[in-house]
A and B are shown apart, each in its own frame.
Chain A
């Protein structure tokens, strides 16, 4: 953190760095006017950052990229200072807002009864053709935070099927508890648009 930035609160630091970053980002010219005082502070901070990064001129190769990266990391540090990242991850996970690879998967023992291998289930989750996260905000209904995954397996004969996998989200963990092979020759799935539609047809 630069000497000048140390005098500010985390929120103020974040805003100052955001304003400085604007200079290096696409700018359609609709940003608020900056007061002369603010401009002077931003200039001082920027000079300190350049000195830290040993940038003599912004024309140097990669100078702007280095500045953008520094400002970007600085904004993150200011915003997430003293914040419990696990709590953010939990909130996002609960809402189904994490990238699927960021979820930890736990497989229910009963899953073996489905006759689908864990490998196939993982494939259906991580390489899903469709994912649907159902979200219920009521805390008394955590079991309804379902995630549904569809993976189509097409074959030239009559064995084409879709693997439907169900899991319950608890923060950033998905407890996978059900997997069904749905054979296209047995169930007319033509009206299904979403994984939930699929489930309703079964």
Chain B
């Protein structure tokens, strides 16, 4: 049975970039399981690997931020990802050249606290029609993962425990 909530772990920086440069429309990769380790081994979602589990991603980022790990692989990946997106958005005419430069500047000059994780809680009934199942070969495991390309700010809650 489909769960009522979807979960996504997003860095504060990514959330901020989408708020400020994407009209507060958020692209998220989400899961219907928050913590697969708490599931029965026979339950759907129980085989979600650590790198796709929202709580595991949250904990890894939170620890890297708390310890001030400037060489965090996770943060390096996020940094590259946001710059990549800015370049592609500009190439596609979705943002201006100035905005692309600003995003790259912001990402390169961000304080480590700006990479702290946020949890998005997304009531499924608000996005059912726009949920895209990630193709099997692109998932971290056989467990289901979803993309929402145009999540509106009114469609989710952010918690920062």
Chain A interface (Cβ < 8 Å from any Cβ of B): 11, 14-15, 17-18, 21-22, 24-30, 65, 68-69, 71-72, 75-76, 79-80, 83, 85, 88-89, 91-92, 97, 99, 101-102
The main secondary structure of chain A at its interface with chain B is helix
Tell me if B106 is interfacial: C-beta within 8 Å of chain A: yes
List, in ascending order, chain B residues with CB within 8 A of A92's CB.
Answer: 102, 105-106
Within the complex, the shortest CB–CB distance from A46 to chain B, in Å, comes to: 14
Q: Which one, B37-45, B73-81, B151-159, is touching chain A?
A: B73-81
Q: Is B84 an interface residue (CB 8 A)?
A: yes
Q: What's the tally of chain B residues with a CB closer than 8 Å to chain A?
A: 34
Q: How far is the CB of B57 from chain A (nearest CB, A)?
A: 10
> Which residues in B have their C-beta under 8 angstroms from that of A30?
132, 147, 149
Question: How far, in angstroms, from A57 to B145 measured CA to CA in the complex?
Answer: 30
Q: Is the CB of B80 within 8 A of A88?
A: no
Q: In whole Å, how far is A133's beta carbon from the nearest beta carbon of chain B?
A: 12
Main secondary structure of the interface of B (DSSP, over half): helix
Contact of B20 (CB < 8 Å), options: A22, A75, A85, A97: A97
Residues of B within 8 A of A (CB): 20, 29, 73, 76-77, 79-81, 83-84, 86-88, 91, 98, 100-102, 104-106, 108-111, 114, 132, 134-135, 137-138, 145, 147, 149
Closest to B134 in A: A28
